[in-house]
Amino acid sequence: MNTDISQQLQEQIQRADKEATPLRIVGGNSKAFYGCTSQLKDAETLSLAEHQGVLSYEPTELVITARAGTPLHVIEKLLADNGQMLPFEPPAYADSATIGGTIACNFSGPRRAYTGAARDFLLGCKLINGRGEILSFGGEVMKNVAGYDVSRLMAGAMGTLGVLLEVSLKVLPVPEMESTQLFQCSSIEALDKLHAWSQTPLPISASSFHQSILRVRLSGADKAVHAAMQTIGGENQADAEHYWQQLKEQQLDFFTDAQPLWRISLASDADIPELTENNCLFEWGGALRWLKSDSDNQSFGDNIQQTAAKFDGHASLFRADDKTSGHQSSRFQPLTPGLLRIHKNLKQAFDPDNILNPGRLYADI
């Protein structure tokens, strides 16, 4: 059945390319809020919802290969049954989330800063480019990639370079033990602690700071976690697993109102007056800051992105209603002329007629 679906997808893309019809790529539609969709309102839908199934999984090899439309929760359940996990701890945001959409957005959760991003665990992929050609890159082992790893270009491309059909991912064993320690402190004190701990071999796997509370998750062997608990101190959080799940899925009170939400990535020691503990939630050792703002004008967004750029970081309007997003020239950090040229060259190589998710990342791509 899935062979027929692959052929149907290929034929739809070939027809769209011939007729210059833009395509809106949809898996579980759990991430429809992300990116710019203004150019896709009248686009034809290309659905991968039925393109499901785990193609290969051998726990001893720590590799899983699945079709892009496979629900994320199906993969996580299979891995959990074998004592394994996706190391980048991806958020789903809805039960319909797929593994293809997760990789296309390069979404990673609280563990990302300590184990790596989704991109780092993508070993290979199969895709259909804008001409309707099926291409394969990478494979199922870490050492089989010679030259540039094209498969990792697809992580974060949001379907603008190709329609993912299959992905191969490296997985890891679930930690033997986890513990979360709490600390009551200011943001300055929290960052000082995280910076000091980052220079030691502590088994930290997640961190967050909000409303004067620093949380640090420790993961690893039982003895290593207990030793780390003694080293850093703090109060143990009883419902820690529930907390990190809510943080990952943005179900904490901080995320639940209708204010525009900015995702800002920059050096953890960057001192920016606009990004304080009063309006931000810190993750990833302070390198990721979620900012809520009731400002819906373009000048506010431009200022945030310009400020982030001064610190060699980047800012994205992660969530906003249609009214707010309409005020923004770009939901993503504007590219420098050199990077924009590279992006356009890649788009020309993979999707020369610009039919795959046009404008989802940037207006000209």
Task: Give the CB-side neighbour count of residue 76, counting CA atoms within 13 A.
Answer: 15
Count of residues making up the chain:
365
Question: What's the DSSP call for residue 255?
Answer: G
Provide the β-strand partners of residue 122: 169
36 with 44: CB under 8 angstroms? no
Question: What does the radius of gyration of the chain's CA atoms come to, in whole angstroms?
Answer: 21
Domain 177-248 CATH class label: alpha beta
Cα distances from 148 to residues 145, 340, 342, in angstroms, run: 8, 19, 14
pLDDT given at position 43? 96
pLDDT given at position 329? 56
Which amino acid appears at position 263 of this protein? R
pLDDT given at position 64? 98
Task: Give the CB-side neighbour count of residue 188, counting CA atoms within 13 A.
Answer: 3
pLDDT given at position 118? 97
pLDDT in tens, 229-258: 999 999 999 999 999 999 999 999 999 988
The DSSP result for 185-241, as a single string, is --HHHHHHHHHHHTTTT--EEEEEEETTEEEEEEEE-HHHHHHHHHHH--EEPTTHH
Cα 309–Cα 315–Cα 320 angle in degrees, nearest 5: 150
179 with 229: CB under 8 angstroms? yes
Question: Do the strands 23-26 and 44-47 form a parallel or antiparallel pair, or are they unpaired?
Answer: parallel
pLDDT given at position 212? 95
161 with 199: CB under 8 angstroms? no
Kindly report the backbone phi and psi dihedral angles of residue 255, in degrees, each rounded to the nearest multiple of 5, phi listed first.
-95, -5
Question: What's the DSSP call for residue 143?
Answer: G
From CA 311, how far away is CA 298, in angstroms rounded?
20
Secondary element (H or E) of residue 268:
none
Please, what's the b/e burial string for 245-269 (b: 16 or more CB within 10 A of its CB; e: otherwise)? eebbebeeebbeeebbbbbbbbebe
Counting as low any pLDDT under 50, the low residues of the chain are 1, 143, 145-146, 326-327
CATH number for the region 2-173 comes to: 3.30.465.10
Question: What's the DSSP call for residue 345?
Answer: H
Kindly report the backbone phi and psi dihedral angles of residue 108, in degrees, each rounded to the nearest multiple of 5, phi listed first.
-135, 155
From CA 243, how far away is CA 26, in angstroms rounded?
30
First to last CA, the chain: 33
